[in-house]
Amino acid sequence: MKRLKFEYRTDAVFDGPVTDHGFCLRCIPREDERQHLEWYTLDIYPETNIRIAPDVWKNTTTMGFIVKPHREFGFCVRGEVLVDLSRPRKLWNPIFKYPTEYTQTTPEMEHMVNILLKDSTGENPLSRALRLMNGLYAAFEYRQHVTGIWTTASEAFKLGCGVCQDYAHVLTAMCLYAGIPARYASGFMLGEGYTHAWAEVFSEGSWYGLDPTNNLMVDETYIKLAHGRHAADCSVVRGAFRGVVSETQKINVYVEELK
């Protein structure tokens, strides 16, 4: 079990005023069998009334609406989380057996899965998923600014590169094709940087996190914000507003282990 202190800040600046700004955030860590949120504070600007409620996957969402004109929007969430991976996550939804528009495979992806899982008969789903992660890590390249938030697994696989969202989508798609229940997860890693994404697979009664971007199993130095079928289910910031503007955004995440 580890106790992790975190701070996550996003600041957006518009080059003109916007109004009627509705937003939905998934910036507060999940509460579940393996993760307990000890305490947190959430500051949002401009100040507005908010509603905090679980979504369909029991991720914590924060919703609000800003009527008055504004040129900046941001939030900062701080807190401490206890992570204990010795506790199994036994509950799961059968929908995580099926692909979505983001996690469809192509014949090329399926060919790679079949090669990687050759001679894996008798292995449990986690072992088979690890084979897929190792193979994807060897074949895929981390590269920014070539994919976007709507890039699908098949599109990223064709490019052969992408960011953590793409790695997670591709691994999820490959696992689903192989008959391994899988889902997409988002959150933080130990250290300083940005939000992160990985996949989770269901094996022998529990969920296991696999981080294909770093070719690692998720351990107690990760904090989970959300999980779902794909990235759109786990988006940290979604919203709409009135105004024809350009936006610049700064994101910073810091996670520290407390002894």
Residue 113: count other Cβ atoms within 10 Å of its Cβ.
22
pLDDT tens for 106-130 read: 999 999 999 999 998 889 999 999 9
State the number of CA atoms in the 13 A half-sphere of 147 facing the CB.
Answer: 26
Q: Tell me how far the alpha carbon of residue 70 is from its chain's centroid.
A: 29
pLDDT at 205 (0 to 100): 87
CATH number attached to the domain at 2-85+236-258: 2.60.40.2250
How deeply is 80 buried, as exposed, middle or buried, from its count of CB atoms within 10 A (0-12, 13-18, 19+)? middle
The whole-angstrom separation of Cα 228 and Cα 94 is 12
- pLDDT value of residue 31: 93
- Contact by Cβ (8 Å): 250, 20: no
pLDDT the model gives residue 87: 75
Given this model, what pLDDT does residue 89 score? 67
- In which residue ranges of the chain is pLDDT below 50? none
| pLDDT of amino acid 169 | 98
Q: What is the pLDDT of residues 244-254, one digit of tens each?
A: 999 999 999 99
Measured between alpha carbons, how far is 3 from 116 in angstroms, rounded to an integer?
37
Q: Are 51 and 62 in contact (CB under 8 A)?
A: yes
pTM of the model: 0.95
94-233 fold: C8orf32 fold (3.10.620)
DSSP of 60-122: EEEEEEE-S-EEEEEEEEEEEEEE-TTS------GGGGS--TTS---HHHHHHHHHHTTT-TT
154 vs 107: CA distance, rounded Å: 10
Domain boundaries of the chain, sorted by first residue = 2-85+236-258, 94-233
